[in-house]
Amino acid sequence: MQELTGNIYDYPVYYDLIFGSDWVAEFKFLEAAFKKHVTGKTKRVFEPACGTGRLLYRMAKAGYTTAGLDLNDKAIAYCNARLKKHGLKETAWVADMCDFTVKKPFDAAFNTINSFRHLNSEKATVAHFQAMANAIRPGGIYALGFHLTPLEGIPTDEESWSARRGNLQINTRMWPRDKDPKTRIERFNLRFDVYRPTGSVRIDDCLVLRSYTWKQFATMIKKVPEWTVEAAYDFSYDIDEPIEIDAATEDVLYILKRK
Ligand SMILES: C[S@@+](CC[C@H](N)C(=O)[O-])C[C@H]1O[C@@H](n2cnc3c(N)ncnc32)[C@H](O)[C@@H]1O
């Protein structure tokens, strides 16, 4: 097997095969959250760090006006090509989620699988929530899903997934490399084993994520007074089952409301 190290986001076909199939529960939950938590109608939705647009293009297909941004130009090219293929507007662009503006504010935004943890400092994170406050209208929401660091129990640090489409088979594993409690920077090994008729390849990446305890998140979000925590859910994505956040909480989807 050929072995290489690289950024997995540079391989949108592989990324989308692994993560793209897992969208129905998130999609249904987001639509229910728009109905329950947005004041007024939700017509315009935005995804910072949209990647391949696995959720965004389905929102566009469902009739929402959509836009998204991502730092990775290959992911954006993939996202726009898929929008075009479905006869939809190519509305994703390359940008940093800490430093962007939109022409017209959106009703809702979503960012569901740890992407905001790529922002590796408090300054960058606060800048992101300030940019998001300018991108969402008052009464709108930002649905933010990620893993908190639980202070009770053992964190779920290791995950593996597999997916197959036609002749393409991918097995993926993620496991911790190191964690610095002072800087709160955690590094995870991420391995994609890709089996194709033309030959197999192993891609090793290192994911660098900033960690948050529930209190660290609460302290950070207070620095951007335009946002208030309206509700929280877990990754069972049940709109009728909001959760109370405490020291043991790990997977969380916050509904932040734009004041
Ligand atoms: C785990 S993927 C999630 C992609 C997509 N939201 C999804 O649900 O499939 C994380 C994405 O964050 C993007 N990203 C990381 N840092 C970023 C930044 N500062 N600004 C914009 N995008 C960023 C990466 O390029 C990658 O596409």
Q: Tens digit of pLDDT for each residue in 154-163?
A: 878 899 999 9
Residue nearest to atom 12 of ligand 1 (CA): 49
Q: Quick check: CB of 125 below 6 Å from ligand 1?
A: no
Does 131 have pLDDT greater than 80? Answer: yes
Task: State residue 255's pLDDT score.
Answer: 98
Non-local (6+) Cβ contacts of 258 within 8 A are: 133, 136, 137, 138, 139, 140, 141, 142, 226, 227
Residue 118 CA to ligand 1 center (angstroms) comes to 8
Q: Quick check: CB of 75 below 6 Å from ligand 1?
A: yes
Does 22 have pLDDT greater than 80? Answer: no
Mean pLDDT of 53-78: 98
Does 106 have pLDDT greater than 90? Answer: yes
Per-residue burial over 44-58, b = 16 or more CB atoms within 10 Å of its CB, e = otherwise: bbbbbbbbbbbbbbb
Residue 171 CA to ligand 1 center (angstroms) comes to 21
Which residues lie across from 195 on neighbouring strands? 169, 200
Task: State residue 40's pLDDT score.
Answer: 98
Q: What is the pLDDT of residues 204-254, one digit of tens each?
A: 999 999 999 999 999 999 999 999 999 999 999 999 999 999 999 999 999
Does 95 have pLDDT greater than 80? Answer: yes
Task: Kindly list the domain boundaries of the chain, sorted by start residue.
Answer: 9-150+212-258, 151-210
| 77, 15 Cβ separation under 8 angstroms | no
Q: Quick check: CB of 91 below 6 Å from ligand 1?
A: no
Q: Which of 137, 132, 130, 194 is nearest to 161 (CA)?
A: 194
Per CATH, 9-150+212-258 and 151-210 having the same topology is answered: no
Phi, psi of 191 (to 5 degrees): -120, 130
Residue linked to tokens 């194709």: 196
165 Rama sector, left if φ>0, alpha if ψ -120 to 50, beta otherwise: beta
Which residues lie across from 161 on neighbouring strands? 172
Task: State residue 154's pLDDT score.
Answer: 82
Domain 151-210 of CATH type 2.20.25.110: yes
Q: Which atom of ligand 1 is nearest to the CA of 112?
A: 8
What is the Cα–Cα distance from 8 to 206, expressed in whole angstroms? 9
In a mutational test of the pocket of ligand 1, which residue from 21, 26, 70 has the highest number of ligand atoms less than 8 Å from its CB?
70
Residue 187 CA to ligand 1 center (angstroms) comes to 16
Residue 166 CA to ligand 1 center (angstroms) comes to 26
Q: Quick check: CB of 226 below 6 Å from ligand 1?
A: no
What is the Cα–Cα distance from 148 to 206, expressed in whole angstroms? 19
Domain 9-150+212-258 of CATH type 3.40.50.300: no
In a mutational test of the pocket of ligand 1, which residue from 15, 102, 118 has the highest number of ligand atoms less than 8 Å from its CB?
118
- The count of other CB atoms within 10 Å of the CB of residue 204 is 14
